Amino acid sequence: MTSEPVFLKPNVVIEPLIDSWYAWTHLLSPATAALNVTKRHMDIIDSYLHDPLAHAQAVANPKMRGGPFMDLPGQPLEEIKALRERTVRERPGLFALAAAIKELNTLLQAQAKGYSLEPLYQKVPDILKGYVELYYDLSNNPSFRFFESLLYKSEFHCEEAQEIALWLTDNDHRPFCLSTPRLPDAHTIRMRMPFSHRGIDDLARMKRSPLPLEKIRDRLGIAAGDIPLFETFFTAEPPRPYRKYDGDKIRMRYFGHACILIETKELSILLDPLISYYGYPSDVDHFSDFDLPETIDYVLITHNHQDHILLETLLPLRHKIRHLIVPGSKGGRLEDPELPLLLRAIGFRNVVAMDEMEKVSFHDCVITGLPFTGEHCDLNIQSKLCYHVEIGKFSLLFMADSRIMEPAVYSHVHREIGDVDVIFLGMECDGAPLSWLYGPLLPRKLPREQDGGRRLAGSDCEKGLSLVDIFHPRELYVYAMGQEPWLEFISSIKYTEDSNPIVQSDKLIGICGQRGILAERLFGEKEILYERKPESLSINVIS
Ligand SMILES: [Fe+2]
């Protein structure tokens, strides 16, 4: 089989890992990585080593889903101990960086009292010198920002921690990825390589374009002992061919969660890519990799949450993305890593930073970045954008998880963009408390009531309705609910019909129906074709 051209099987997972943990953005940006490794990872490991039974009981309890518990039933403790020791031994820089950030916070709280900060520079911990700027906000609260671009050039950017796990999946079950590391197993090949390695692109291309096995084996440097397993990831059978959309309409395809593909015969736009695998039985119909075009003109990322910016999907798509649009932020604040820098650091060469009300135009399409409010626990995080996509005279509004706390924002936006034809709105309206995602970054634990009151919550019915009142859509789709089985490992969400997000979204859908607005909560897959001109709008629901 080695010299025959072969295809990569559609259920091969190309899983990026960082020191054996699922790779997400806060493990890439050096400062957030330091705090997540030393707090989130070490706390979970120590807790597990102290009482593995408690973790086993917690992961078996659906109410504890998404909590800081390792889902490793029956795994020997020695492997977790070894992971802990290896991390401490191999990443002293991250531990030192985390300690220095803590020390700098303490210094500023104790000594920055409204007078000049200049004398404090000499007291900044040595390893942080030259990487931070100290400042006050206008109310004299001291803080600091990182020169993040310099941090990516420093010893704290640990490319050597990056690896790719290759394995075949035959179901959608995976442990919650922020709490459970990936231990070695007999079915997985682990390849130490930076995520910028172009061999990842070559491998991903093989889903459609075959290569001789020996060529990709050599390109990736597969060890001799792994070759028999490596060979099982490939097949001589060609995949189902992709058929480019060549009609005159606008085709919307929902791929699950917030992942939507917009195509016309001239262009393609993919939002918040999260692509499921294919080639094993599933109860839920879904589009997959085979349904993506050969090249994607624009990929749009709405915000820096782990279920909206998935490296596991983005890296295999990297070779086909022409432009990657992300919210631009240049704050250098710990809680808001700069996405353009982060993505360029892992080999994306075509990242475009977009700001609120900025536009990109091509063919008959205009993409406008819009304010994204809420869902970030009232932290000063700017890496978030909603998008208005106008093709011809037809317009779609992608609101992601934006929580409409102040409708006036969107009334102002409406003055600029007018009514829209379709709204996509996330309604995960309860959301996790602040500490769930941002806890490791806090210098001090928040009081319980504050933590619980500041949530990663999207819009409820009333807030969604305010958007309807402003933009007068003909259709509204609730999406980004984290419900598809292939993303439970990252969303940790499992609703019942009594769950508030379901109750609230049902209510909004009902009210829209009474007003003659087509409304639905999306799940699995959906395809809709739109006429380009709103006055002759017709809808063909194919699936
Ligand atoms: Fe979110």
CB 384 within 8 A of CB 426: no
Distance 427 CA to ligand 1 centre (A): 10
Q: Which two tokens stand for residue 388?
A: 């208005």
Q: Quote the pTM value.
A: 0.95
What is residue 225's predicted lDDT score, i.e. its pLDDT? 95
Distance 303 CA to ligand 1 centre (A): 7
Residues forming a β-bridge with 384: 303
Distance 305 CA to ligand 1 centre (A): 5
Distance 288 CA to ligand 1 centre (A): 22
CB 417 within 8 A of CB 387: no
What is residue 460's predicted lDDT score, i.e. its pLDDT? 96
Distance 411 CA to ligand 1 centre (A): 22
Distance 502 CA to ligand 1 centre (A): 17
Distance 258 CA to ligand 1 centre (A): 10
Distance 242 CA to ligand 1 centre (A): 31
What is residue 64's predicted lDDT score, i.e. its pLDDT? 86
Distance 457 CA to ligand 1 centre (A): 8
CA 6 to mean position of chain CA atoms:
31
Residue 295's CB is within 10 A of a number of other CB atoms, namely 10
Distance 78 CA to ligand 1 centre (A): 36
Distance 172 CA to ligand 1 centre (A): 22
Using DSSP, state whether 438 is helix, strand or coil.
helix
Q: Which two tokens stand for residue 294?
A: 């050969």
Distance 307 CA to ligand 1 centre (A): 7
Distance 400 CA to ligand 1 centre (A): 7
Complete DSSP assignment for 405-468: S-HHHHHHHHHHH---SEEEEE---S--BHHHHHGGG-SSPPPHHHHHHSB-----HHHHHHHH
Distance 160 CA to ligand 1 centre (A): 29
Mean pLDDT per segment of 10 residues, for the chain of length 543 residues? 87 97 98 98 96 93 89 88 97 97 98 98 98 97 97 96 96 92 95 98 97 96 96 95 93 97 97 92 88 97 97 98 93 96 97 97 95 96 97 96 97 97 96 95 95 95 98 98 91 88 97 98 96 56 39
Distance 136 CA to ligand 1 centre (A): 29
What is residue 534's predicted lDDT score, i.e. its pLDDT? 52
Distance 375 CA to ligand 1 centre (A): 6
What is residue 2's predicted lDDT score, i.e. its pLDDT? 67
What is residue 445's predicted lDDT score, i.e. its pLDDT? 94
Distance 41 CA to ligand 1 centre (A): 22
Over the Cα atoms of the chain, what is R_g?
Answer: 24
From the DSSP assignment, how many helices (H) and strands (E) are in the chain? 17, 24
Distance 309 CA to ligand 1 centre (A): 10
Distance 350 CA to ligand 1 centre (A): 24
Residue written as token pair 């949530």 = 455
Residue written as token pair 């609910």 = 481
What is residue 146's predicted lDDT score, i.e. its pLDDT? 98
What is residue 536's predicted lDDT score, i.e. its pLDDT? 41
Measured in degrees and rounded to the nearest 5, phi and psi for residue 355 equal -115, 170
Distance 403 CA to ligand 1 centre (A): 10
- State the DSSP code for 339: H
Provide the residue type at 34 as one letter.
Answer: A
- State the DSSP code for 524: S
How far apart are the C-alpha atoms of 123 and 370, rounded to whole Å? 41
Residue written as token pair 């090949």 = 189
Distance 351 CA to ligand 1 centre (A): 21
How far apart are the C-alpha atoms of 345 and 328, rounded to whole Å? 15
Residues contacting residue 86 through CB under 8 Å, at least 6 positions apart = 19
How far apart are the C-alpha atoms of 372 and 355, rounded to whole Å? 11
